[in-house]
Chain A
Amino acid sequence: MRNLGGVKNLRRGLLVAGMALLAGVVVRAKGRPAAVPASGGWRPLEGPDLR
């Protein structure tokens, strides 16, 4: 009987860990900031910039 109780607890533990993992993945995916497009661009510093 004690052995069956242990298996039950193990299953519950695995279920909780799985749900926590799933929640973590969802939060991380949703929390990632959207890349705001830059209005402009980079140009090399050369010629007149270095005089």
Chain B
Amino acid sequence: MSAVLLVGTGQVGVRAARQLVDTPGLERLWVAARSEDRASAMVGALGDRASVLSGARVGVPALPEGTTAVAVAVPDPEAHRWVRAALEAAVPVATVVDCGFGPLGDEARSRRIPLVTGCGLGPGLTDVLARHAAADLDEVDAVHVARVGAAGPACVEATRDARKEPTGEWRDGGWCPVPSGGPELLWFPEPIEARECRLVHDGVEAGAAAVPAARLVTSRLGVPPTTGRLRRGFGRDPKDCGWGAARVEVTGRRAGATRSVVYGVVDRTAVVSGAVLAVAALGLAGDATVGLAAPTGRHRLGAVTDPVPFLAELARRGITAAAFEGVAPR
């Protein structure tokens, strides 16, 4: 039996909590958040197996006795504080955040604890899909990942910041700065369809970790939803109200012929991210059926996941990926 500590009561945290508490093998779910009132309200809706972890607002919090995994659904710097707490308690931890884990990764390796980062829609599910697509080819040349949409206000901010960073791509095993070249029109599953996306740094390392054989890895992000009171009323696509999509294109060769495998997913961004985080946490808690085999140290989700059982588990939870058949428009 497993007991998971979930950190965060935002858009992703709420969805992850629902996914976790609906898992038959879960014995106990603790919820920690900056606002204990909000955590109490959420726990009240989750049933008897959920309870609030109190007194964890400052310092390195102590984990409840018997915790088998920690799922962190909060942004930096709060995410790093909880990852440190999990490592000090020698408990495996999964987080939606994917950057800035250098020292904590070293600590995870020295303490022999698994730390899985980037457990969201992208990075996260996109890398699992990339790995699944790569398995369909004999030889991989390139991985192109793209995402539109954002889960909550923190995710919108992160997306906005990522689009302002210097652009580049992963080429022959290293980061290579290249000019953005402006937005590119990419096709996502319906109802999102065509969206302009810009080359970004965010997600490139995760894609490269998922498919190490790829010589070229790129990552693109669409325009985040508007959040300002004045702007959100004008020219806003109704699909931007929480909807998100991701698209993964892996090119290479099969039986000597050049092939391109395109996978995508579309749903509420927070729903997908919450489900991915919950399934990753369950895998770390010992559920062998989800296909997560994380060795000790820091790893990205796509690098330690067997795509078939992981995607099958997500499909059982209502998150279904899609394959593009035809001439892939880019």
Chain A positions within 8 Å of B, measured between CB atoms, are 33, 35-46, 49-51
With known contacts A35-B194, A36-B194, A50-B315, A41–B329 Cβ distance under 8 A: no
Query: A50 — which chain B residues lie within 8 A by C-beta?
Result: 308, 311-312, 315
Taking a contact as CB atoms under 8 Å apart, the answer to whether A38 and B320 are in contact is: no
Partner of B311, one of A39, A43, A45: A45
Nearest-CB distance from B242 to chain A (Å)?
20
Given contacts A42-B323, A42-B324, A43-B322, 14 further A-B pairs with CB under 8 A are A36-B185, A38-B327, A42-B190, A42-B264, A44-B320, A44-B323, A45-B263, A45-B311, A45-B315, A45-B322, A50-B308, A50-B311, A50-B312, A50-B315
Nearest-CB distance from B163 to chain A (Å)?
18
Cβ contacts A to B, 12 pairs, < 8 Å: A33-B194, A33-B196, A35-B193, A36-B329, A37-B329, A39-B326, A42-B189, A42-B264, A44-B321, A45-B321, A46-B315, A49-B323
Contact-size category for B:
20 to 34
Instruction: Count A-B contacts at CB 8 Å.
Output: 55
In the complex, A50 Cα to B312 Cα: how many Å?
6
The 5 closest A-B pairs by CB, nearest first: A40-B326, A42-B322, A45-B321, A42-B189, A39-B327
Query: A45 — which chain B residues lie within 8 A by C-beta?
Result: 263, 311, 315, 320-323
Partner of B325, one of A33, A35, A40: A40
With known contacts A46-B315, A50-B308, A51-B308, A38–B326 Cβ distance under 8 A: yes
Asked whether B187 is an interface residue with its Cβ less than 8 Å from the other chain, the reply is yes
Taking a contact as CB atoms under 8 Å apart, the answer to whether A33 and B315 are in contact is: no
Nearest-CB distance from A37 to chain B (Å)?
8
In the complex, A51 Cα to B308 Cα: how many Å?
6
Interface core residue of B187, B190, B263 (most chain A CB under 10 Å):
B187
The residue of chain B having its C-beta at the shortest distance from the C-beta of A32 within the complex is B196
In the complex, A48 Cα to B320 Cα: how many Å?
14
The residue of chain A having its C-beta at the shortest distance from the C-beta of B313 within the complex is A50
The residue of chain A having its C-beta at the shortest distance from the C-beta of B193 within the complex is A35
Nearest-CB distance from B89 to chain A (Å)?
35
The residue of chain A having its C-beta at the shortest distance from the C-beta of B330 within the complex is A36
In the complex, A42 Cα to B189 Cα: how many Å?
6
Taking a contact as CB atoms under 8 Å apart, the answer to whether A41 and B324 are in contact is: yes
The residue of chain A having its C-beta at the shortest distance from the C-beta of B183 within the complex is A33
In the complex, A50 Cα to B128 Cα: how many Å?
12
Asked whether B178 is an interface residue with its Cβ less than 8 Å from the other chain, the reply is no
Partner of A46, one of B196, B320, B325, B326: B320
Taking a contact as CB atoms under 8 Å apart, the answer to whether B325 and A43 are in contact is: yes
The residue of chain B having its C-beta at the shortest distance from the C-beta of A37 within the complex is B329
Partner of A40, one of B190, B196, B320, B328: B328
Interface set, chain B 272-330, CB cutoff 8 A to A: 308, 311-312, 315, 320-329
Query: A44 — which chain B residues lie within 8 A by C-beta?
Result: 320-323
